[in-house]
Amino acid sequence: MASGKLVILDRDGVINQDSPEFIKSPDEWLPIKGSLESIARLSQAGIDVVVITNQSGIGRGLLTANTLGRIHVRMIDYVQQYGGKIQSILFCPHHPDDDCACRKPKAGLYDELATRLNISFQGVYSVGDSLRDLQAARAAGASPVLVKTGNGKKTMKQISQDADWDTTPVYDNLSSFVDAFLADQVVA
């Protein structure tokens, strides 16, 4: 897989509606308008889509790994109904206090993906709605992109106070990012 032929997405707040109560069942997984079509457009353009997501609801005892698997099957099925494909889903199941290497903002899941695919993330966009998404992408060598869905508006306020994030592209939603990406016009 060549750099530029891969886009990494966070899940909650980017693909589906986020919830402060966590997404604990397939019925609670509700796509953000346009996100499924956007993933399909990437797939149809020959771009591989990988999801990297923190799922601490498992570590908190709010859902099981089996239930998370059912949620992901629902997401994959919905994406396929639009003609898209999610190549892989990597998730951190740990509680935030566990100090694991895989929970964003650490880059452990990105490192795992890089090893699996034998790639670097130079030129690869990673789309998220939270500061930890952006930090993990940057730590892994990917290009972070912020969307305003989910926690994105709050994150936009956070990063606006920090010049280190001045060049981070910001889009209204996944659909507007995909429009720019497919037109080769992603800009900060």
Known binding positions for Zn(2+): 92, 94, 100, 102
Residue 187 lies in a domain: no
**DSSP bridge partners of 51:** 9, 89
pLDDT per residue as tens digits for the range 99-139 = 999 999 999 999 999 999 999 999 999 999 999 999 999 99
Residue 188 lies in a domain: no
Residue 80 lies in a domain: yes
pLDDT per residue as tens digits for the range 97-110 = 999 999 999 999 99
Residue type for position 53: T
Which comes out higher in pLDDT, residue 187 or 79?
79
Residue 1 lies in a domain: no
Catalytic residue annotation: 10, 12
Number of domains within the chain: 1
Structural domain of residue 144, as residue ranges? Answer: 6-182
Residue 17 lies in a domain: yes
The CATH number of the domain holding residue 87 is 3.40.50.1000
The 3-state DSSP class for residue 52 equals strand
**For residues 39 and 37, what is the distance between their CA atoms, to the nearest angstrom?**
6
Measure Cα distances from 38 to 85, 86, 95, 178 in Å.
Answer: 11, 12, 31, 6
pLDDT category at 142 given cuts 50, 70, 90 is very high
Known binding positions: 10, 12, 92, 94, 100, 102, 129
